[in-house]
Amino acid sequence: MKPRRFGYGYGYGYGRVRRAAALLLLLLLCLCLSSLFLLLLHGSSTPLEPAAAAAAAEARVAEAQAEVEEAPLPPGNSKGDKEGRFSILVHSRPGFVLTRATTRSRFFYNRQVNDSIQVDWGEASMITAERILLSHALKDPLNDRFVFVSDSCVPLYNFSYTYDYIMSSSTSFVDSFADTKAGRYNPRMDPVIPVENWRKGSQWAVLIKKHAEVVVDDEVVLPEFQKHCRRRPLPEFWRDWDRPIPAEAWKAHNCIPDEHYVQTLLAQSGLEEELTRRSVTHSAWDLSASKDRERRGWHPVTYKVSDATTRLIKSIKDIDNIYYETENRREWCTSNGKPAPCFLFARKFTRGAGLKLLDSSLIASK
């Protein structure tokens, strides 16, 4: 019997609203490739005029495809792993191709979906991209778990430990809690999405096949999100603190679709009993008082080279419970019925910080 495979999802953002979320990546059962998490995926150059951009993209695709065709796939099966335990799918912005020039890892060659869309941070296009990845992944019957991670993630443990941790659970890992904060839920969603089913959490989920199918087949919740869940039209994180905030700005609902969609859909579908309601990806949101403006705003802390230390990694690995204040719920973390660390991945790390961790062997060991 061939080993089961699970799916892995990857989201790429540039850290600024106007360039954010250019890539999403679905890694089917690939939890271990350090080079994957540490890739620098380009795409932040000055936008061209539409006609010029289309011509340039077509030329890049043709050139890259020729290069890819010459490049052998990694040893083992056609999707990369000699034991058949993982495969990779990539959603990138239209026109971007992963080649020797843009990635060090051959595991990405020929793994990009052919119907990718332009993704904007804080818009419903992010969840549309996730659905595209899942729809492709579900075509392969061997894919059994579907794990979304971002390019700024680093693995905290080796592949075997991570694989066993996830595969030993019959549930999805979905960070999900009741969202009682005013301004996120739009009453116009009712009665299709009643407020009691409204949830919030991290987009970095691990889905079992049944739940991946629910996401792909959804024709009820998604349209409501597309109409009524939108981020507030504020300037870029208001990091220019001296600029006045428009008087009408705070009247708009501030809804970030990817922080609510999967959680709300599964709650709406009566499937919360089939979830482990926590994420396996760690993000730090508790430095809002920092004097460093780059560490404040609507995104989690980005760890720089100076932050990438043994002490930091150990502190994350030592976390064994998560407290959800809105539900007065403490989630004690387990794996295969035994106490276990909560997190398998951590983010957000700069490329330099990730390389430092990899070179110093601070990660990828049990």
Strand 206-208 and strand 199-200: the pairing is unpaired
Top-confidence residue, 338 or 181: 338
Name the CA radius of gyration of the chain, rounded. Answer: 20
Give the pLDDT band of residue 71 (cuts 50, 70, 90): very low
Q: In this predicted structure, what is the pLDDT of residue 96? A: 82
Q: In this predicted structure, what is the pLDDT of residue 74? A: 38
CB 361 within 8 A of CB 313: no
Q: What are phi and psi of 7, to 5 degrees?
A: -105, 150
333 CB-side CA count, 13 A: 21
Give whole-number Cα distances, 109 to 11, 65, 99, 105, in Å: 17, 9, 7, 8
101-119 average pLDDT score: 82
DSSP classification of residue 354? H
- pLDDT tens sequence across 206-240: 999 999 999 999 999 999 999 999 877 655 444 44
Give the pLDDT band of residue 163 (cuts 50, 70, 90): confident
Average pLDDT, rounded, for the chain: 75
The helix or strand, by DSSP H or E, that contains position 167, with its residue range, turns out to be helix 159-167
CB 142 within 8 A of CB 1: no
Question: Structure pTM?
Answer: 0.76
How many percent of the chain have pLDDT more than 70?
66
Q: In this predicted structure, what is the pLDDT of residue 140? A: 85
Burial of 321 (0-12, 13-18, 19+ CB in 10 A): exposed
Residues 6+ apart with CB under 8 A from 275: 171, 172, 173, 174, 176, 266
> To 5 degrees, how large is the angle CA 156–CA 38–CA 168?
35
Quick check: 76 pLDDT over 70? no
40 CB-side CA count, 13 A: 8
Quick check: 6 pLDDT over 60? no
CB 86 within 8 A of CB 108: no
Top-confidence residue, 131 or 75: 131
Q: In this predicted structure, what is the pLDDT of residue 231? A: 79
Quick check: 291 pLDDT over 80? no
Q: Cis ω on the peptide bond leading into residue 191 (within 30° of 0)?
A: yes
DSSP classification of residue 201? -
Quick check: 275 pLDDT over 60? yes
Domains of the chain: 60-231+251-360 (3.90.550)
Kindly provide the b/e burial profile for residues 128-149, where b requires at least 16 CB atoms within 10 angstroms of the residue's own CB: bbbbbbbbbbbeeebbbbbbbb
HEC states along 96-139? CCCCCCCCCCHHHCCCECCCCCCCCCCCCHHHHHHHHHHHHHCC
Q: In this predicted structure, what is the pLDDT of residue 91? A: 83
Q: Rounded distance, CA 211 to CA 207, Å?
A: 6
